[in-house]
Amino acid sequence: MPATSAPRSLRWYMIPVRVLLATFVVTLLSFAVSLFLGILGVVLAARVRGVPPNMTIAYRHVAFPIAATVAAVVLVSASFMEGRHYRQAKTLRRMEDQMHGAH
């Protein structure tokens, strides 16, 4: 019979830390990708029009709005997912405690 490790205690105060960390990482990644695509689009449009590229457009009108939208979506969805995971773990912990108490 395999040895079972002691289950970790539930830490509700870690939920905001995980949510903010996930939001920060995904926001940085989305900003980087959207900035890259924005720069490509600005350079391509400038080349087609025969004018020098204005890179501030890539930051102000492409990368920042996309990253802000992604941050809002990730913040809300990660909050709900972490809250649901915490409730499920808490319920499972109670069920385990009841099962071990019955033996």
Binned at pLDDT 50, 70 and 90, residue 67 comes out as very high
How many CB atoms within 10 Å of residue 56?
9
pLDDT by residue (tens digit) across 30-66?
Answer: 999 999 999 999 999 999 999 999 999 999 999 999 9
pLDDT at 14: 87
**Mean pLDDT across the chain, nearest whole number?**
89
Q: Are 86 and 12 in contact (CB under 8 A)?
A: yes
Q: How far apart are CA 63 and CA 29, in angstroms?
A: 11
* Side-chain half-sphere exposure of 75, counting CA atoms within 13 A: 9
